[in-house]
């Protein structure tokens, strides 16, 4: 069994199927996961640079011409022959690892959401289902033969029905869509979000953008962590990707454990989170510590 130090956060480079069984029972108040969506494709994110050039092939605003060069490319394969067999054992571990007041947020898209809902009912119990949150956005291509898919689903389950932690007052409020229909006091205060979250994706030139594929915005994780953790709660994300969960948990003063098998993800998290107070753990047998994080501790907890 791997013991977690109270004053340490962790970034673990390993297959989560190896890590999860070694973690202590009921050691996390919140588990958030954003696993691969089983699109059958290789997910990639390219970082490009545009340079002004009179002979450039690309024409921009005002007729200016540019050469485009690729600075970096990150990616992972998102394909599983039997997705439920892949995700099921990991969800069973998530249930074991949650504290009695703990909550699971399972981020998935329309391809697998209905199957995963049935699977989660069998693991947590139907009475443990708390919410289906719809994260709606507006970006990307437009389908010509169907309604364009512009939302993700977040399935929310609790370890112990009626005993879960939820702090409504800690959630950042949002503007009313029709402020003229409420009092000035209410309009100034804003309203609490419902189970439909209108939130932009990570902006192309935003400060939080890492270049990692399918990076989720900090605003989504901030809402999750504010609502479902106490000040001393610990957060687990075992499909950590770019480390958004860890970045927001640190901002809000929560301890975290991030796990990912992709060395590029670990590198991105190292650049994003730095080394202060974090133990970088390598169970894959490689050097999981990014070269830019010189003082990061590499150990088995």
Mean pLDDT of 63-82: 49
Q: What is the pLDDT of residue 301?
A: 41
Q: Torsion-angle region of residue 26: left (phi > 0), alpha (psi -120 to 50) or beta?
A: left
Going along the chain from its start, the domains and CATH numbers come out as 9-40+79-298 (3.40.50.150)
Query: Residue 29 in contact with residue 234, Cβ under 8 Å?
Result: yes
Tell whether the model's pLDDT for residue 283 goes beyond 70: yes
37/247: higher pLDDT: 247
d(CA 283, CA 11) in angstroms, rounded, equals 11
Mean pLDDT of 69-90: 63
Token representation of residue 183: 């009092």
Bridge-based pairing state of the strands 98-108 and 58-59 = unpaired
Mean pLDDT score of the chain: 84
Q: How far is CA 243 from CA 4, 269, 298, in A?
A: 19, 5, 18
Q: At what angle do helices 113-124 and 83-97 cross, to 10 degrees?
A: 40
Q: CA torsion angle for 200, 202, 204, 209 (degrees, to 10)?
A: 170
Token representation of residue 53: 């050039």
């Amino acid at each position: 069994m791997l013991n977690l130090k109270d004053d340490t956060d962790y970034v673990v480079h390993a297959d989560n199927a190896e890590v999860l069984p070694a973690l202590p029972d009921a050691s996390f108040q919140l588990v958030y996961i954003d696993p691969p969506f089983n699109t059958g494709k290789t997910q990639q994110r390219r970082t490009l640079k545009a340079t002004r050039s009179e002979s450039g092939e690309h024409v921009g605003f005002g007729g200016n011409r540019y050469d485009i060069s690729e600075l970096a490319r990150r990616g992972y394969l998102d394909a599983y022959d039997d997705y439920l067999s892949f995700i099921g054992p990991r969800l069973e571990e998530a249930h074991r690892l949650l504290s009695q007041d703990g909550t699971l947020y399972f981020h998935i898209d329309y391809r697998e959401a209905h199957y995963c809902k049935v699977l989660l009912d069998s693991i947590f119990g139907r009475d443990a289902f708390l919410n289906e949150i719809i994260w709606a956005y507006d970006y990307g291509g437009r389908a010509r033969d169907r309604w364009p898919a512009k939302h993700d689903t977040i399935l929310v389950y609790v370890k112990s029905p009626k005993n879960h932690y939820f702090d409504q007052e800690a959630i950042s409020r949002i503007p009313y869509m029709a402020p003229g229909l409420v009092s000035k006091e209410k309009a100034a205060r804003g309203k609490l979000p419902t189970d439909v979250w209108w939130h932009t994706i990570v902006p192309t030139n935003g400060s939080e953008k890492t270049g990692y594929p399918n990076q989720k915005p900090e605003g989504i994780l901030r809402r999750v962590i504010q609502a479902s953790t106490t000040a001393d709660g610990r957060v687990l994300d075992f499909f950590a990707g770019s480390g958004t969960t860890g970045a927001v948990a640190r901002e809000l003063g929560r301890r975290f454990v991030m796990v990912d098998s992709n060395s590029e993800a670990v590198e991105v998290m190292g650049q994003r989170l730095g080394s202060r107070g974090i133990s970088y753990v390598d169970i894959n047998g490689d050097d999981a510590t990014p070269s830019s994080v010189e003082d990061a501790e590499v150990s088995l907890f």
